[in-house]
Amino acid sequence: MNFTKTKKNDFRSRNRKNRSSRAKKRPAGFDLNKLINAPGTSHEPIQDAPQRKFSDMHLQLPLAKNLSGRGFDYPTAIQDQTFEAILEGRDILGIANTGTGKTAAFLMPIIQQLLSGKEFQSLVVVPTRELAQQVQKEFFLLTKGTKLFSSCFIGGTTISADYKLLKKKNHVIIGTPGRLLDLVERKALPLEKTSVLILDEFDRMLDMGFVNDVKRITKAMQHRKQTLLFSATEDGSQKSLVADILNKPVKVKVSTGHSISSDVSQEAIRVQGKDKTQLLIDMIMQQELKKVLVFAETKRQVNQLEKKLSQARIATGLIHGNKSQNQRTQALNSFRKNKIKVLVATDVAARGIDVADITHVINFQVPQTLDSYIHRIGRTGRAGKKGTAITFID
């Protein structure tokens, strides 16, 4: 596979170092005032909803039944505009924000081909554990009642469990870059015959320092026939890398990279000289704040906020990079099932949290980048529901 042989510990250390050094190179700040109280003015509108129904797309019966059973009659724009091109084997460059159905956009045509009798394996690479689990869940829901299988490989789980999963038949492999390459290095995950590569949340992967990991994965797939790359933003600095990965791609852009849903009401609160934590507690106590996602910049601050909120008898959970996968999954499930009112998180959760009924997102500080801000507030106002994003400004 043309991989440079390294000791396993050296390999993990190098990955941590690469991600750490990349994370320190943050872009300059942005002007929040240009966004606050101006939803819908800073972006192009998402293109018109598709006119055709799923019933017009000649889907295999099990896939059609699973979509219908979940109440889905129409594809989203990104699903509608990429479906045939993916079936034709074309490379795809898809630019669309979170909440626009990107996961199903790449899973549906893959499942359609597999149900048609075509034999191939796909690899889905995502930046975070939560997003990997979300893709795994979506695949399960779309393939219910079929004999199609997938496995998910993320940090925080045991290697021995991964080995067992890899011995089974997997039509789709899903994972985060570090764990996937760890398995490749151990010769447990051969990628030479994997023909389809999906890179989801590509911009986020680069932000998190996975650029070299992505290059190593693409190099390992010696018989790659198709690559699907999805990103919320389109950055000129990524052009050469994208050109190296994709071959004459079909470009589908259903929104600009810096779009904000008109369903999200944005507010800013100046907190200079005030007790920010007490202000947060008082705000969350209000009845209209039913399900709240609070973002803080550091793991330490997340821990502190969770402790203070819990002491105020507010049902609160937390997720950040130092929590085990079981702890993170448990906190997310509690949030989804309304067992807790508040989830406090670092940016690790800005993408990958798919909870339809978050009423409020609160930024405890102004995020350091525009991209981070947009993806944070994109956790509310989803699936046609209204949401509110509140940012504390020192």
Q: Do 272 and 375 lie in a common domain?
A: yes
Share of the chain above pLDDT 70, in %: 83
- What mean pLDDT is predicted for residues 153-161? 89
> What confidence score (pLDDT) does residue 48 get?
44
Residue 184 reports pLDDT greater than 90: yes
Among the candidates 253, 284, 314, a domain finishes at: 253
Our count of domains for the chain comes to 2
pLDDT at site 47: 42
Question: CATH number of the domain that 273 lies in?
Answer: 3.40.50.300
User: Does 195 or 12 have the greater pLDDT score?
Assistant: 195
- Indicate whether 204 and 294 sit together in one domain: no
Which spans in 167-207 are helix H? 177-185, 202-207
Range(s) of the domain holding residue 146: 8-30+47-253
The CA distance from 45 to 66, in Å, is: 30
Number of separate helices (H) and strands (E) present in the chain: 14, 13
Task: Please give the structure tokens belonging to residue 119.
Answer: 């034999």
pLDDT over 50 (residue 221):
yes
Instruction: Tell me if 107 sits within 8 A of 132, measured CB to CB.
Output: no
Claim to verify: residue 241 and residue 349 sit in the same structural domain: no
Instruction: Evaluate if pTM is beyond 0.75.
Output: no
103 token code pair: 């996961």
The answer as to whether 35 is a domain residue is: no
Residue 315 lies in a domain: yes
In this prediction, residue 258 has a pLDDT band, given cuts at 50, 70 and 90, of low
**Domain shared by 147 and 181, yes or no:** yes
Give 56 or 26, the one with higher predicted confidence. Answer: 56
